[in-house]
């Protein structure tokens, strides 16, 4: 992967972790929306980098891949650029993205809530481009908040709002999604 041609920069996990830690220390919960905005802003270049990466391997455009091929290639791509492993699946009306070693999570900086906000922003733009329509992403499990994996839900804004509201009432996201 030629990072500079793909408009990407390499950043060490330690550096990214320090940046996030300082933002939560100094901005409090405002850090969440700042990180999300930054991630979202990079979605286009990330998607283009994935398309170019596919092309050098003889695959077509991302949106032309069969779902199983897409899952396999996306896993390989995000792993290769250092974010970690991921598994794609579905829970009722949403897609799920799970990772047991995602680079934004840091169990050494424990947080009360899932807090891979940069990733949530980046994935929202990335999958929105893939789907050709705006999508929302919400993280519902996170290694930073004591869970074994990070789990992101990808779906329409309405569905994820309902999940958010349901969780606020004490329901689990699986209950709200009818995916128990
Ligand atoms: Zn996380």
Q: Which residues pair with 96 in a beta bridge?
A: 89, 153
Distance 104 CA to ligand 1 centre (A): 6
Distance 153 CA to ligand 1 centre (A): 12
Measuring CA to CA, which residue among 100, 60, 76 is closest to residue 1?
Answer: 76
Distance 58 CA to ligand 1 centre (A): 32
Distance 37 CA to ligand 1 centre (A): 16
Cα-Cα-Cα-Cα torsion 124, 140, 161, 122, nearest 10 degrees, comes to: -10
pTM recorded for the entire structure = 0.94
DSSP 70-106: HHHHHHHHHHHTTS---EEEEETTEEEEEESS-TT--
pLDDT at 135: 96
pLDDT at 179: 67
How many other C-beta atoms are found inside a 10 Å radius of the C-beta of residue 54? 21
Residue ranges of the chain whose pLDDT lies below 70: 179-180
Residues, CB-to-ion distance under 5 Å, ligand 1: 105, 116, 142, 150
Tell me the per-residue pLDDT of 149-169, one tens digit each, with 9 for 90 and over.
Answer: 999 999 999 999 999 999 999
Measuring CA to CA, which residue among 5, 84, 119 is closest to residue 52?
Answer: 5
pLDDT at 163: 95
pLDDT at 180: 56
């Amino acid at each position: 992967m030629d990072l500079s041609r793909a408009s990407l920069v390499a950043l060490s996990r330690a550096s990214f972790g320090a940046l996030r830690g300082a933002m939560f220390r100094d901005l409090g919960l405002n850090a969440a929306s700042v990180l999300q905005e930054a991630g979202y802003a990079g979605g286009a270049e990330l998607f283009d980098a994935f398309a170019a990466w596919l092309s050098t391997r003889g695959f077509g455009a991302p949106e032309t891949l069969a779902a199983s091929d897409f899952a396999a290639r996306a896993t390989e791509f995000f792993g290769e650029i250092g974010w970690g492993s991921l598994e794609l699946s579905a829970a009722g009306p949403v897609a799920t993205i799970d990772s047991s070693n995602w680079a934004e999570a840091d169990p050494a900086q424990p947080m009360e809530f899932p807090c891979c906000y940069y990733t949530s922003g980046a994935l929202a733009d990335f999958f929105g481009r893939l789907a050709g329509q705006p999508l929302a992403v919400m993280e519902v499990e996170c290694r930073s908040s004591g869970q074994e994996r990070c789990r992101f839900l990808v779906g329409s804004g309405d569905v994820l709002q309902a999940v958010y509201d349901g969780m606020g009432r004490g329901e689990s996201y699986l209950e709200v999604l009818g995916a128990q």
